[in-house]
Chains A and B, each alone.
Chain A
Amino acid sequence: MAVGPMKMRATIAGGNTDVRVLMTHPMTTAQSGQPLHFIQNVVVKQNGKTVLEAEISQAVSRNPVFTFRLKGGAKGDKIEVSWVDNKGDSNKIESAVA
């Protein structure tokens, strides 16, 4: 199944970097009768360095939207967010801080 798009906006707010990222993913739970299919890991990198690692479950809503906050940072910093799901599918997006 083709992996859906991601969208990210990283901006400087109050001296820190706010990273808002949207991920297309069904995040199906066993209750919905379909097989479990959800994002398990999310990694956030700032200028190549991993600054945040998350493990999440199918309790996160469909088409997840996260906001993370990184210390300091400046315009042009490279932010990369990637995810991997329980089927091994993955996607990532990279953009510069606006």
Chain B
Amino acid sequence: MKRFLAASLLAAALPLAAQDTRKEIQRYQQMIADGSPVELFELEGETLWKKPQGPRNISLEKCDLGLGPGVLKGAYARLPRYFKDADRVMDLEARLLHCMTTLQGRSREEATKRVFGNENEPSEMEYLSAYVAAQSRGMKMAAGTSHPKEKEAFELGRAMFFHRAGGWDMSCASCHGEEGKRIRMQDLPVLSKPEFARPIVATWPAYRVSNSQFKTMQWRINDCYRQMRYPEPKFASDATIALSTYLAVTAAGEPYRGPGTKR
């Protein structure tokens, strides 16, 4: 009984402001999620998925995201995974790029000219990611873990997560390594632990209210390295896919709840 009493006294002793602040921030996050325009991006993504494009003037409706050509339901929840036709582990954006080049006959250079959009003109990848991810809502996330290349991607991703380099000697763990920490008002989930990785990975890609932009996982990784004072990760490169494989596998089992709405 004494330990319980001590613990509750300790909890009360926490500066009330800090407790309230965290509670209020969570309330804010809940309210912006309720009133989020993210569904508008799903609508535009559907239009693009069905729009014939490229030299072959073909839509993406036959693109195989891992569950068979054109199968959308639950496909995102199983990514990243190994694809035999490309002999490579791919995340959603890498796979969409593959379909743009193979099905639509577009050059990689043209298809990756503008992979990150802005609030006035979101990119194709952003619209498509919103639409495809939405088709996995409610399904348990299960990124690939059985193929040797999937294991390789996971191990490489884990090593990258703790690898310190760049202008500020940082690794992902520098910020995402200790429980209960914040950057300014932004809580920092320990992404190497399943219980903290699950709610996060389950809500990417996401609409960010702060700049009214829809952001993908490739952008999230790109922008973290920018702020860690590294040079730029190449879009959909093995390194970026290894890191998102590590995060997705760490979060496995969580029902996908995205596309999310974030600060």
A61 touches B209 (CB 8 A): yes
Which residues B13-53 have CB closer than 8 A to chain A? 35-37, 39-40, 43-44
Cα separation A4 to B36 with both chains bound (whole Å): 16
A5 touches B43 (CB 8 A): yes
Residues of A within 8 A of B37 (CB): 22-24, 63-65
A73 in contact (CB, < 8 A): no
B212 touches A7 (CB 8 A): no
Q: Choose among B37, B44, B212 the residue with the greatest number of A CB atoms under 10 Å from its CB.
A: B37
How many chain-B residues does the 8 Å CB contact rule pick out? 11
B120 in contact (CB, < 8 A): yes
Among A26, A61, A63, A67, contact of B40 (Cβ-Cβ < 8 Å): A63
Among A4, A5, A23, A26, contact of B119 (Cβ-Cβ < 8 Å): A26
A-B contact count (CB 8 A): 29
A92 in contact (CB, < 8 A): no
B44 touches A5 (CB 8 A): yes
Closest CB of chain B to A57's CB: distance in Å? 17
Closest CB of chain B to A59's CB: distance in Å? 14
Closest CB of chain A to B166's CB: distance in Å? 32
Residues of A within 8 A of B119 (CB): 26, 62
B40 touches A22 (CB 8 A): yes
Closest CB of chain A to B17's CB: distance in Å? 28
Given known contacts A61-B209, A62-B212, A67 and B44 CB-to-CB distance under 8 angstroms: no
Residues of A within 8 A of B39 (CB): 7, 22
Specify the chain A residue showing the minimal Cβ separation from B44.
Answer: A5
A4 touches B40 (CB 8 A): yes
Closest CB of chain B to A95's CB: distance in Å? 13
Measured CB to CB, the residues of B under 8 A from A are: 35-37, 39-40, 43-44, 119-120, 209, 212
Given A6-B40, A63-B212; 4 other pairs, CB 8 A cutoff: A22-B40, A23-B37, A63-B37, A65-B36
Pick the 9 closest A-B CB pairs, nearest first: A63-B37, A62-B212, A65-B35, A5-B43, A22-B37, A24-B40, A7-B39, A65-B37, A22-B40
